[in-house]
Structure 1
Amino acid sequence: MKIQINRFDEKNLRVTFPEGFDYELLNLVRSVPGRMWDNENKQWLIPDTEFTKKILYSKIKEYEMRHKLRIQQIPFNAEIEQLKKVLTAKHYSSHTIDAYLGWVKQFLKKYENHSILAQNEINEFLTELAVKLKVSPSTQNQAMAALLFYFRFVKNENPDSLNSVIHAKTKKHIPVVLSRSEVGMILNRMTGSKQLAAMVLYGTGIRLNEVLSLRIMDIDFEMNEIVVRNGKGGKDRRVMLPALIIPQLKDQIKKVKVIHDQDLKDGWGKAKIPDSYLKKYTGAAKEFRWQWLFPQKNRWVNPETKEEGRWHLDESLLQRAVKQAVLESGISKPATCHTLRHCFATHMLEAGYDIRTIQELLGHSDVRTTMIYTHVLQNRTKEIISPLDREVTL
């Protein structure tokens, strides 16, 4: 026997029986003061007060003792699977899906002994992240977004009173920006496909996962463009193709062709492509145009089908290569792959390009996100003379 109890609105709880009920269980709910039957939605509504909840749970305990069984809540694993399906259906990125699933699992584990998960638990969880765990504002906001998505699309509830949440203290950080010579020092200490990927990062300003997700067909030498597909927010956009890397890109494509031909010869050669294309064009996964521009070294094996395929270069490999190049360059700034994106935006502004153009190239939905790079320029102090240099003679 299973019973599901969750919030219906600000004043009522919803009680349903997914697997049916007996008359004793029905009378149990009927005995709770203030209960109402919602005939349209086939559910019981019970006032959300400590008094009524205490009566409801005590009667459930009595029922369990009489029948020597435990009334089960709908399992969390089923809800996690449902959450994953909804996120996938709404075309959230794999990174966002993993992050949301992680936060919801953490939330459900913390309150696994709670029969009701509602507003109070959300507020308590988010407040604890800020007060006890000292997470950053962006981390807390991500956790909040994950929980709100879970309650709205899986629990069919709409929590909206989050005023009591103690928010993590907002800190304003200026992005790390390298000079042109420092960027050159880093790129010159890298080799092979990782160097080329880093040059694309700096030369176009696209994100790390966008670089690694490029396919052969995304490089348009005729139009001198790179097409970024399914970027952040599920949007496509076009960026310039730096002339300096065209020879290296053509060499890279030739290398990928050799790898792909060998994979086909071995009986494999499929790349992961969107399901919508796979249904319409069953052989598309083996086409060269769908292959990754930066493929991984070894083929991966699908544990279910035992088929071998080739994924793109892992993020960690490029991140480590950039980090090693920074160390070898003797640069003391905490530069990463994402720093190259910051450098692109800042250096474009220095070159006189307008903020709207840079916004489009970066793929920002809101120009205010791009405006941070104007602050980087405004706050530069190299032209300010210190009083130590002006007034003091040593």
Structure 2
Amino acid sequence: MDGNHQAPKPRLREQFRAVIRVNRYSIRTEKSYWYWIRYFIRFHRMTHPRDMGPQEVNGFLTWLAVERHVASATQAQALNALVFLYSKVLGTPLGDIGQIVRSKKPRRLPVVFSHDEAMRVINPLDSPYRLLASLMYGSGLRVTEACRLRIKDVDFGQQVITVRDGKGAKDRTTLLPATLASDLRAHIERIRQAWKQNEPSMRKPVSLPFALSRKYPNAGSTLAWQWLFPSHSFSVDDLGNTVRHHIHVSSVQKAIKQSIENADIGKPASSHTFRHTFATELLKRGNDIRTVQDLLGHSDLRTTQIYTHVLGQGFPGVRSPLG
């Protein structure tokens, strides 16, 4: 080979994928970041990001707010994606992008169930959706967090559940409801028996976090790493291996949505409503707001404080003139 020839630089997509996975961002974040990077490139007529900078980023974000009327959180996510691209992938931090038109975020209180309503949604669900919904309500889990639980994340001795790589790539622990312990033990025992007997569903390893399969090639076949709620089908991972993934988030959302409709509750609720209800129920029962913040995994206390308004506790000591 001619020594003057250098291997071609990887395409931007491959560069981005390698960097975001080394930094252990979730697959969900990876997909959303790449969506915004592609959108940014297309907006500027397929110009490569290295040939653009703060001015083009400002123009794109302002256009999202003024012309597309995106929500504040959506605009912030687009900005985060581009900051990541320039600082981590291209190695040229954006610096000051100037004044941009900010999307106005309407202040909306979260929808919550009463305890009775939550149980009316949960009880009719079939397995494994009943147990998944119960964990969302009883432990304050996001639907993605519940779906991604592994056997090793359930600690019956300490009565806690460990959430790995939650939102913001953070780990946290939360409550394991005592009333679910028996059902969870039985559920795990069924998985253990299937694993021990090497049933067909267990003959392929489970998918593992990025790079772990290289470091511990046999981890995906151990009992501890098995998904608590596995998918019924196999898939192919990024290394070309056939693996077993967790239950698909959309199937859980669909089952819960149908149960909400059947319960005729009359609220614009979803699977995430269980998490909102977990927070409000804990505050209603006198738990400290900072404890609730930790259990939910909120980095900012102000995010947790919105639940005090749901309870009507946002105005301490103030009484209506009607009494």
TM-score, normalised on structure 1? Answer: 0.73
Q: Which residue of 2 aligns with 1:101?
A: 34
1:143 aligns with 2:91: no
**C-alpha deviations, 1:45-65, integer Å up to 9, x for none?**
xxxxxxxxxxxxxxxxxxxxx
Partner Cα distance (1:370, 1:157) in 2: 35
Partner Cα distance (1:83, 1:320) in 2: 32
Write the mapping of 1:154-193 to structure 2, written as runs, cut at 5 A: 154-193=89-128
Q: CA deviation at 1:158?
A: 2.4
RMSD, aligned α-carbons: 2.8
- The answer on whether the counterparts of 2:41 and 2:47 sit within 8 Å (CA) in structure 1 is no
Q: Which residue of 1 aligns with 2:302?
A: 368
Q: Which residue of 2 aligns with 1:348?
A: 282
Partner Cα distance (2:257, 2:189) in 1: 28
Q: CA deviation at 1:114?
A: 4.2
Write the mapping of 1:13-24 to structure 2, written as runs, cut at 5 A: none
- The answer on whether the counterparts of 2:163 and 2:174 sit within 8 Å (CA) in structure 1 is yes
1:260 aligns with 2:199: no
Structure whose alpha-carbon radius of gyration is higher: 1
Paired amino acid for 2:127: G
Aligned with residue 89 of structure 1, among 22, 33, 36? 22
Structure 1 unmatched runs, 5+ = 1-18, 21-73
Partner Cα distance (1:276, 1:209) in 2: 21
1:312 aligns with 2:312: no
Q: Are residues 302 and 86 of structure 1, via their aligned partners in 2, closer, same or farther at CA, if it must alter by over 3 Å?
A: closer
Paired amino acid for 2:245: W
**C-alpha deviations, 1:345-379, integer Å up to 9, x for none?**
00000000001111111111222221111122226
- The answer on whether the counterparts of 1:261 and 1:269 sit within 8 Å (CA) in structure 2 is no
- The answer on whether the counterparts of 2:231 and 2:247 sit within 8 Å (CA) in structure 1 is yes
Paired amino acid for 2:90: K
Structure 2 unmatched runs, 5+ = none
Partner Cα distance (1:263, 1:99) in 2: 37
Paired amino acid for 1:223: Q
TM-score, normalised on structure 2? Answer: 0.88
- The answer on whether the counterparts of 2:139 and 2:175 sit within 8 Å (CA) in structure 1 is yes
**C-alpha deviations, 1:58-111, integer Å up to 9, x for none?**
xxxxxxxxxxxxxxxx99x71222122111111111111100011001111222
1:332 aligns with 2:266: yes
Aligned with residue 241 of structure 1, among 176, 180, 193? 176
Q: Are residues 386 and 245 of structure 1, via their aligned partners in 2, closer, same or farther at CA, if it must alter by over 3 Å?
A: farther
Task: Tell which has more relative contact order, 1 or 2 (C-alpha 8 A, sep 6+).
Answer: 2
Aligned with residue 43 of structure 2, among 102, 110, 116? 110
Q: Which residue of 2 aligns with 1:66?
A: none
Q: CA deviation at 1:245?
A: 1.2
Aligned with residue 357 of structure 1, among 281, 291, 299? 291
- The answer on whether the counterparts of 2:227 and 2:245 sit within 8 Å (CA) in structure 1 is yes
Write the mapping of 1:210-229 to structure 2, written as runs, cut at 5 A: 210-229=145-164
Q: Are residues 202 and 132 of structure 1, via their aligned partners in 2, closer, same or farther at CA, if it must alter by over 3 Å?
A: same
How many percent of aligned residue pairs carry the same amino acid? Answer: 36
